[in-house]
């Protein structure tokens, strides 16, 4: 590290270990990464290559330590390298990593998931959140024999073609792809509505209700900042779905087994027909799941005509990590309550240190999720686009200052932060000290 950036005899600055990796990666991989947000494009600078993690902390390849609030974007509810997960993985790996045949661990994880999440009567395991959502939508279309799907502006459901759409200028818009390579024909059956808008919901269902296969929503939208919705509005959506014969899908890839046993569905009193899961139920391994009403799940192959399959689905490693993660939550006296209390206390301190440094700052929090906006905004923002360009720029500077002082935040003003059960007082105090110095450096 100490020689990084110094000119060599040749006159060229010597590359740090990290930047050598960035260069190697960028030669072979788009942006040098396996998923775009990791490339730091939203905050500028170079991504940090991570060497290891333990509990609330991670270390980069140059040995710098960070308190981590990115937490792999959500799966690590017990923190990094949680011993029970490591042991379960070692044990599973020792006996073979994949068979293409059913194993007992799938049954055990299915038993935990269905016992704990009230909407999950039956379940199918897949390999990612994207796959879970894609499959749930196919199932909704199969079950209703309709094609139209409804999603909401500001919610992210993975990168399946039919969901890479954006809202246009009208009250309801159809089929404007957000990605090159997504044909118009694939998204023309996806309608997008604004969040938190009663009139939009009623008008839409009045006009198109009979054609809607399903509505899908993050009941706690957490991909465009944290945008808690009014429970009455969510319940209105559920009711309109039911009245119109459309299925109601709650995407709990982030919130499942993080906000509580019944995720956002239970928190807001919702009874979805189908639920999608990912992240926490895989304890850091690639897992997703979709499930819900058993009469619907009986339409999935091989029982029914909706085809969906996967070579590595339900593999022993992913199942072992998921079981270890959920069993440890079961053994904890009050995991979700403790996470929520910790998050409340911590975010209050963040607000205070920002105020002391005269930095405009709003921290939105719910359960173990929080979102730092470097601006004074509504404390309960309900729709996207609340972050002004100045606040986005300020966040980029804050992000780098945090890295400098030992705190790892997700590299975008629109990503939410995660708390884990491993974030003890020592880690949180270290984080607050670092963030205080970072706030001092972003003062205008
Ligand atoms: C709510 C939601 N649904 C679906 C996905 C897609 O999951 P994955 O990245 O595992 O494909 C994500 C990813 O962050 C998500 O937040």
Give the strands of the sheet with 65-68, arranged side by side.
50-54, 57-60, 65-68, 407-408
What's the Cα-to-Cα distance from 60 to each of 75, 249, 361, 403, 407, rounded to whole Å?
20, 38, 28, 11, 12
* Residue of 34, 37, 129 best suited for mutating to test ligand 1, as the one with most atoms within 8 Å of CB: 129
**CB under 8 Å to 39, separation ≥6 — which residues?**
31, 32, 33, 47
The answer to whether residue 179 scores a pLDDT higher than 60 is yes
* Ligand 1 center to 223 CA (angstroms): 9
Asked if 281 contacts 287 with a C-beta cutoff of 8 angstroms, the reply is yes
* Ligand 1 center to 395 CA (angstroms): 23
In short, whether 158's Cβ falls inside 6 Å of ligand 1 is yes
* Ligand 1 center to 398 CA (angstroms): 26
pLDDT digits (tens, 9 = 90+) for 257-302: 999 999 999 999 999 999 999 999 999 999 999 999 999 999 999 9
- What is the SS3 assignment for 269? coil
Asked if 41 contacts 396 with a C-beta cutoff of 8 angstroms, the reply is no
What's the rounded Cα separation, in Å, for the pair 401 and 268? 37
Q: What pLDDT shows up at residue 385?
A: 77
* Ligand 1 center to 229 CA (angstroms): 19
In short, whether 223's Cβ falls inside 6 Å of ligand 1 is yes
Q: What pLDDT shows up at residue 171?
A: 65
pLDDT digits (tens, 9 = 90+) for 187-222: 999 999 999 999 999 999 999 999 999 999 999 999
Categorize the per-residue pLDDT at 8 as very low, low, confident or very high, splitting at 50, 70 and 90. Answer: low
pLDDT digits (tens, 9 = 90+) for 360-376: 999 999 999 999 999 99
Closest by CA position to 211, among listed 244, 248, 169, 256 = 244
The question of whether 295 is a catalytic residue gets the answer no
Q: What pLDDT shows up at residue 2?
A: 43
Closest by CA position to 62, among listed 71, 50, 47 = 50
Region 106-126: mean pLDDT is: 98
Token pair 């500028």 in the structure block, residue: 44
Region 371-386: mean pLDDT is: 91
Q: What pLDDT shows up at residue 3?
A: 45
What's the rounded Cα separation, in Å, for the pair 397 and 225? 18
Asked if 90 contacts 299 with a C-beta cutoff of 8 angstroms, the reply is no
Q: What pLDDT shows up at residue 386?
A: 76
Among 60, 68, 189, 251, the active-site one is 251
Residue 188: exposure state from Cβ atoms within 10 A (0-12, 13-18, ≥19): middle
The answer to whether residue 121 scores a pLDDT higher than 80 is yes
* Residue of 151, 155, 157, 312 best suited for mutating to test ligand 1, as the one with most atoms within 8 Å of CB: 157
Mean pLDDT of all residues in the chain? 95
In short, whether 160's Cβ falls inside 6 Å of ligand 1 is no
- What predicted TM-score, i.e. pTM, was given to this entire model? 0.96
Region 39-48: mean pLDDT is: 96
Q: Could you write out the DSSP letters of every residue in 134-151?
A: HHHHHHHHHHHT--EEEE
Give the number of the atom of ligand 1 that is nearest the alpha carbon of residue 129: 7
What are the DSSP E strand ranges found in 190-273?
190-193, 212-217, 247-251
The answer to whether residue 142 scores a pLDDT higher than 70 is yes
Residue 406 DSSP symbol: T
First and final C-alpha spacing in the chain? 30
Region 347-358: mean pLDDT is: 98
Percent of the chain with pLDDT strictly greater than 90: 91
Q: What pLDDT shows up at residue 384?
A: 86
Among 279, 290, 414, 430, the active-site one is 279
Measured by CA distance, the residue closest to atom 2 of ligand 1 is 157
């Amino acid at each position: 590290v100490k020689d990084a950036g110094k000119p060599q005899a040749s006159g060229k600055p010597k590359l740090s270990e990290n930047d050598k990796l960035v260069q190697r990666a960028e030669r072979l991989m788009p942006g040098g990464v396996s998923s775009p947000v990791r490339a730091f494009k939203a905050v500028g600078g170079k991504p940090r290559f991570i060497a290891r993690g333990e509990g609330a902390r991670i270390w980069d390849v140059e040995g710098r330590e960070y308190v981590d609030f990115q937490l792999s974007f959500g799966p690590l509810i017990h923190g990094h390298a949680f011993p029970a997960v490591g042991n379960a993985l070692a044990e599973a790996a020792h006996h073979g990593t994949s068979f293409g045949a059913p194993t007992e661990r799938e049954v055990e994880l299915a038993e935990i998931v269905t016992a704990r999440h009230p909407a999950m009567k039956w379940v199918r395991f897949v390999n990612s959140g994207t796959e879970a959502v894609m499959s749930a939508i196919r199932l909704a279309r199969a079950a209703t024999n309709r094609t139209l799907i409804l999603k909401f502006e500001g919610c992210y459901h993975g990168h399946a073609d039919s969901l890479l759409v954006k809202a246009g200028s009208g009250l309801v818009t159809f089929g404007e792809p957000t990605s090159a390579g997504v044909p118009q024909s694939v998204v023309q059956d996806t309608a997008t509505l604004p969040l938190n808008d009663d009139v939009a919901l009623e008008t839409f269902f009045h006009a198109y209700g009979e054609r809607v296969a399903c509505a899908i929503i993050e009941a706690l939208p957490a991909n465009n900042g944290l945008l808690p919705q009014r429970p009455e509005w969510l319940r209105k959506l559920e009711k309109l779905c039911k009245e119109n014969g459309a299925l109601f899908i709650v995407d709990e890839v982030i919130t499942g087994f993080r906000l509580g046993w019944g995720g956002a569905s239970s928190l807001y009193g919702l009874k979805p027909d189908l639920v999608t899961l990912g992240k926490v139920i895989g304890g850091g391994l690639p897992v997703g799941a979709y499930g819900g009403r058993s009469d619907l799940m009986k339409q999935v192959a091989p029982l029914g005509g909706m085809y969906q399959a996967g070579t590595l689905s339900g593999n022993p490693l992913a199942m072992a990590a998921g079981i270890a993660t959920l069993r440890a939550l079961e053994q904890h006296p009050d995991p979700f309550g403790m996470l929520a209390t910790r998050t409340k206390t911590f975010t209050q301190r963040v607000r205070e240190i920002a105020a002391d440094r005269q930095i405009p700052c709003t921290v939105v929090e719910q359960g173990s999720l929080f979102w730092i906006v470097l601006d004074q905004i509504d404390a309960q923002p309900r729709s996207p686009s609340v972050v002004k360009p100045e606040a986005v720029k300020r966040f980029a500077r804050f992000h780098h200052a945090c890295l400098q002082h030992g705190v790892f935040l997700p590299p975008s003003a629109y990503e939410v932060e995660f708390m884990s059960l491993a974030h003890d007082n020592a880690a949180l105090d270290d984080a607050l000290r670092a963030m205080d110095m970072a706030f001092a450096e972003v003062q205008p």
